[in-house]
Amino acid sequence: MAQLSPVLKQATPVVVDRGEGVYLYDTTGKRNLDFTAGIGVTSTGHCHPRVVAAAQAQIGKLIHGQYTTVMHKPMLELTEKLGEVLPPGLDSLFFSNSGSEGVEAALRLARQATGRPNVIVFQGGFHGRTVAAATMTTSGTRFSAGFSPLMGGVHVAPFPNAYRYGWDVGTATKFALRELDYLFATVTAPHETAAFFIEPVLGEGGYVPANTEFFAGLCERADRHGILLVIDEVQTGFGRTGKFWGHDHFDVRPDIVVIAKGLASGFPLSGIAASTELMSKAWPGSQGGTYGGNAVSCAAAAETLSVIKDEGLVENAASRGEQLLAGARLIADKTPRIGDVRGLGLLVGSEFTTSDGEPDNPTAQAAQKAAAERGLLLLTCGAHMNVVRMIPPLIVTAEQIDEALEIWADAVASVTK
Ligand code: PMP
């Protein structure tokens, strides 16, 4: 008899039978409030009827139209629709299947376009699990330990992670920019640096938002040295943070954005967007893949974009996000074990700390487990897995946020007595 590999580490014991909106029903019939959204994917909720209908209509027509062999209508239609929401100037798209592949596509393009070998990533960033993307990931050694050597040419600069350093945001930002200049002077010369890869909010790294001053410093250096700015919007895109793009909070113009997760409501689809000018510097035929831009995924994504617009999901993420952040802070106020609560939109993290202010993994894990037992599914993140994160679907209502906060308060109280 075959069984699943123990390599999979599952955050909850739930075996799901079906999903509907913000709920996941397990095989015993128990209803769970899903504040994980499949790691920030099912933004329109589980099985949104319009997304289901679009996928069903497509599946009977064409499932697989291999895009280096033939072009198909859903990809052309999705490209046109994305044109309405992409950052200014980014009018050329390439599609792949997963966030990691999108990151690698951006890496290839950045190296080919600049002819430079190195890239700079920011401490605590998560960019994926394929070997190149894992090399660029610094949110936890668990993502790369045991299969080194990793890829060369990746250098790490600090992220303005004020809470971790115990500083205010201004001091952390100055430190991070100074260290970046030091990296240029000591490790990777600017003229050998192809790109910065950055998340607008560290996701797996602990839900830490960047800030406008830091991005201004990055952009200034990118412009001065001809370095490309690649923004990884895999977790923060498509309304998650209460603005359409995570970087919309920070007055910044990326050269390349990486997209995935919330794009297609759960169908595997990712990609990169850049200007036609930049994209045309890629070597023709150097990117592709058997499944990239699957026809059903593209049809589901096109409908997802319409649902986000028609149902005002970006606005909902902003207002429900404020409610969630405020509620989580009130709960943290009642216990010294939660040292910080932060986030943007519907991306909220509660960081557990010991009485000495050190990362408290056991209490965070216990709180996440206690919430799951009470029917609220959550995940943890951060280098020490001591941040409990909430990323519900963007369709979540005020009542559902209240319900989740009530369960969360009870779960926290049960493990911090
Ligand atoms: N970038 C970011 C910011 C992510 O959050 C993730 C996934 N958590 C990835 C890249 C990798 O995406 P995937 O798991 O689809 O390869």
Cα 346–chain centre separation:
12
pLDDT given for residue 417 in this prediction: 80
What was the pLDDT predicted at 269?
A: 98
Q: What pLDDT digit, counting tens, does each position of 306-324 carry?
A: 999 999 999 999 999 999 9
pLDDT for 201 equals 98
Confidence at residue 145, expressed as pLDDT on a 0 to 100 scale: 94
Q: Which atom of ligand 1 is nearest to the CA of 232?
A: 3
What whole-number distance in Å separates Cα of residue 363 and Cα of residue 412?
9
Q: Is the CB of residue 241 less than 8 Å from the CB of residue 200?
A: yes
Which residues, at least 6 apart from 255, have a Cβ–Cβ distance to it below 8 Å? Answer: 195, 222, 228, 229, 230, 274, 275, 278
pLDDT tens, 372-416? 999 999 999 999 999 999 999 999 999 999 999 999 999 999 999
The pLDDT tens digits for 246-272 are 999 999 999 999 999 999 999 999 999
User: According to the CATH classification, is domain 51-310 in 3.40.640.10?
Assistant: yes
Strands (E) across 135-269 are located at 154-157, 193-198, 201-202, 208-209, 228-232, 256-259
Is the minimum distance from the CB of 98 to ligand 1 under 6 angstroms? yes
**What is the structure's pLDDT at 277?**
98
Residue owning the nearest CA to atom 12 of ligand 1: 99
Cα of 39 vs centre of ligand 1, distance in Å, is 9
Residue 143 CB less than 6 A away from ligand 1: no
pLDDT of residue 234: 98
The answer to whether the CB of 196 is under 6 A from ligand 1 is no
Average pLDDT over residues 164-174: 97
- C-beta of 131 in contact with ligand 1 (< 6 A): no
Which residues neighbour 170 within 8 Å (Cβ) at sequence distance 6 or greater?
A: 213
CA 219/CA 316 separation, integer angstroms: 30
Q: Establish whether residue 412 lines the binding site of ligand 1, counting it when its CB lies within 6 angstroms of any ligand atom.
A: no
For the question of whether the overall pTM of this predicted structure is more than 0.95, the answer is yes
From the CA of 309, how far away is ligand 1's center (Å)? Answer: 24
Tell how far the Cα of 289 is from the centroid of ligand 1, in angstroms: 18
**Is the beta carbon of 232 within 6 A of some atom in ligand 1?**
yes
Q: Is the CB of 271 under 6 A from ligand 1?
A: no
Any atom of ligand 1 within 6 Å of the Cβ of 268: no
154-157 sheet: strands from edge to edge: 92-96, 270-274, 256-259, 228-232, 193-198, 118-122, 154-157
What mean pLDDT comes out for the span 114-132? 98
Distance CA 276, CA 61 (A): 31
Q: Which amino acid is at 351?
A: E
- Give the model confidence (pLDDT) of 97-118 as tens digits: 999 999 999 999 999 999 999 9
pLDDT for residue 120 is more than 90: yes
User: Does the domain formed by 16-34+312-416 have CATH 3.40.50.10090?
Assistant: no
State residue 206's pLDDT score.
98
Q: Is the CB of 217 under 6 A from ligand 1?
A: no
Q: Is the pLDDT of residue 21 over 90?
A: yes
Confidence of residue 353 (pLDDT cuts 50, 70, 90): very high
Q: Is 128 in the pocket of ligand 1 (CB under 6 A)?
A: yes
Question: Average pLDDT for residues 354-381, to the nearest whole number?
Answer: 97
- 104 C-alpha to center of ligand 1: Å? 11
Structure confidence at residue 82 as a pLDDT band (50, 70, 90): very high
Per-residue confidence (pLDDT) for residue 205, from 0 to 100 = 98
Q: Where are the domains of the chain?
A: 16-34+312-416, 51-310
Beta bridge partners of 93: 273
How high is the mean pLDDT of the chain? 97
Distance, in Å, from the CA atom of 180 to the CA atom of 199, rounded to the nearest integer, reads 16
Judge whether residue 128 has pLDDT over 90.
yes
Q: At what angle do helices 73-82 and 295-310 cross, to 10 degrees?
A: 30
- Ligand 1 nearest-atom number relative to CA 233: 3
Average pLDDT over residues 86-92: 97
